[in-house]
Amino acid sequence: MNLPDPQAFNAWMQSNPMAAMMQDVGAHIKPEAMAELKNAYLKDFGELWQDLLTGKTPPVSDRRFSSAAWQGNPMTAFNAAAYLLNAKFLNAMVETVEATPQQKQKIRFGVQQIIDAMSPANFLATNPEAQQKLIETKGESLTRGLANMLGDMNKGHISLSDESAFEVGRNLAITEGTVVYENPLFQLIQYTPKTATVSQTPLLMVPPCINKFYILDLQPENSLVRYAVEQGNTVFLVSWSNPDKSLAHTTWDDYVEKGVIEAIRVVQDISGVQKLNMFGFCVGGTIVSTALAVLAARGEQAANSLTLLTTFLDFSDTGVLDVFVDETQVSIREQQLKDGGLMPGRDLASTFSSLRPNDLVWNYVQSNYLKGNEPAAFDLLYWNSDSTNLPGPMFCWYLRNTYLENKLKTGELVVAGEKVDLASIDAPAFVYGSRDDHIVPWPSAFDSLNILSGKTRFVLGASGHIAGVINSPAKNKRNYWTNDSGKAKTSEAWFKGATEVPGSWWPEWAKFLSDNGGKKVKPKAKPGNVRYQPIEAAPGRYVKVKAD
């Protein structure tokens, strides 16, 4: 093997935008470790260089470079292979940096962001697919791409879906129901029964306030809300408002007291049932659990059962989100927002997109801007772009007391005037985690079993934070795992003894609700009651409000 000509190699490195970063990272590595990495890098790069000189196309397995436009030309294939080689060694260098685990995670995340941004697929000058389309369309693809980019700049986000294809209330969030209560913080929807009899115990669903509730009610074939109704449950759901300046001083206590506890009171009044089947998804589950512990401290057990989907109660391991939370970053947010203000929805959306930049950012930069394509209609991605604001004081309290200091688990917190002890919740619990969840790692979801004191059951679904949850039985996709031995105390031991089951986990949840639903009764003919009269048809006004 011949190493590349030094002069040509140095010229190529100087033109390589990743080279400077390799030097910066290398400055923090022990010389002997750096020398070993450098020798390995030069060996691999020499082989690539030889392939280029002999006209041989190097193998490239990354799906970003799988098309004939990349593979059919030795030079474009070399660019892709060299980029991947640089990425490989940059990541290897990060692992060699001497730092604490948290510092290394931050370095790893930051370097990966730059690596993903520097892909040759992201630039017209180095993307042969975009160049080919430019020639085929006689420049029209570039014109469309610029128009798409300017349109997205005006909207403030990258278009992930054909946003003209969807409208909340027309073809999203169309499960029949009625808004029966509202205050500035939320609307309460009561869904229309679809069965001759219903379980006596109603189900109150609390979605995350970070996103719109209709992730649980996208379209009829993938709506968890509709499924719950069709299984014979009387379903109520909290539709959080999209905060504006009038809610800029709203606190975590308000979301607990004026949000979930108020919703519980209304459902109790309408149904005549005092103990409800409670449901929380993501941060909605954290708020629900807090509210139930507050009520328990007041001498009331309001939950007949508790369902937690991809929820943190123990924030010991928050996965990659940990890179955004440290004392410095939280203090900055507190200075900005603690005494009032809004955490913009677009900032939250950008944070979550940065966790999967190739899928949620660069893929669309390449398709929409470089190639001039229009994004396809996709309900889940439309929802993903429909962001919500958060009140500053609530957001800052949440960051400090959960992600940063993990006080919810330890029982140190006082919320709504009561000391919060999650173990005081006396109800059976159905706890769900998604195996590939990058927002709530499934072992962290499993750890809720070590906090709750009632009879608990854990189910693990395939896929990620959203796709794992929204997995209707009608589609017969994916799989899930169960382990009902009751012996496993850790997530590792649980999974080692788990049984894999094909299809959706929803029927497991439906059985849990049925087992805790009480006797079957005839559904009420009308929504609400004398005190709580119908206000408007579902999905209501609140969910249609766009973030500023």
Q: For position 517, which CATH number holds?
A: 3.40.50.1820
- 409 and 532 within one domain: yes
Q: What is the sign of the dihedral through the CA atoms of 420, 421, 422 and 424?
A: negative
Task: Say which residue, 3 or 244, is predicted with more confidence.
Answer: 244
pLDDT digits (tens, 9 = 90+) for 373-426: 999 999 999 999 999 999 999 999 999 999 999 999 888 899 999 999 999 999
Alpha carbon separation from 51 to 1, 4, 14, 59, 75 (Å, rounded)? 10, 11, 21, 10, 10
Instruction: Rounding to the nearest 10 degrees, give the CA dihedral for residues 4, 6, 12, 17.
Output: 110
| Per-residue pLDDT at 2 exceeds 60 | no
Three-state SS at 97: coil
Q: Active site includes 396? A: no
What is the C-alpha separation between 380 and 384, in angstroms, rounded?
6
The pLDDT score that the predictor gives to residue 33 is: 80
Q: Which two tokens stand for residue 45?
A: 């790069």
- 208 and 72 within one domain: no
| Per-residue pLDDT at 132 exceeds 90 | yes
Mean pLDDT of 126-131: 96
Total domains, the chain = 2
Mean pLDDT of 436-450: 96
- 200 and 97 within one domain: no
pLDDT digits (tens, 9 = 90+) for 268-318: 999 999 999 999 999 999 999 999 999 999 999 999 999 999 999 999 999
The pLDDT score that the predictor gives to residue 200 is: 97
Residue 88: pLDDT band with limits 50, 70, 90:
very high
The answer to the question of residue 342 being in a domain is no
Residue 219: pLDDT band with limits 50, 70, 90:
very high
- 415 and 287 within one domain: yes
| Chain mean pLDDT for the chain | 92
pLDDT digits (tens, 9 = 90+) for 172-203: 999 999 999 999 999 999 999 999 999 999 99
- 518 and 416 within one domain: yes
- HSE-up of residue 501 (Cα within 13 Å, Cβ side): 16
- 524 and 421 within one domain: yes
Residue 5: pLDDT band with limits 50, 70, 90:
low
| Contact partners, residue 320, CB within 8 Å, separation at least 6 | 105, 109, 355, 438
- 514 and 393 within one domain: yes
From the list 189, 282, 292, 349, the catalytic residue is: 282
| Per-residue pLDDT at 1 exceeds 80 | no
Last residue in a domain, options 109, 138, 155: 109
What is the C-alpha separation between 109 and 94, in angstroms, rounded?
10
The answer to the question of residue 332 being in a domain is no
The pLDDT score that the predictor gives to residue 215 is: 97
Selection from 96, 106, 78 nearest residue 27 by Cα: 96
Q: What percent of the chain has pLDDT over 90?
A: 77
The pLDDT score that the predictor gives to residue 37 is: 86
Number of other CB atoms surrounding residue 27 within 10 Å: 9
Cis peptide leading into residue 443 (ω within 30°): no
Size (the chain), residues: 548
pLDDT digits (tens, 9 = 90+) for 455-505: 999 999 999 999 999 999 998 889 999 999 888 899 999 999 999 999 999
| Per-residue pLDDT at 13 exceeds 90 | no
The answer to the question of residue 201 being in a domain is yes
Last residue in a domain, options 86, 109, 132: 109
| Contact partners, residue 77, CB within 8 Å, separation at least 6 | 57, 58, 60, 65, 70, 71
For residue 39, give its domain range: 6-109
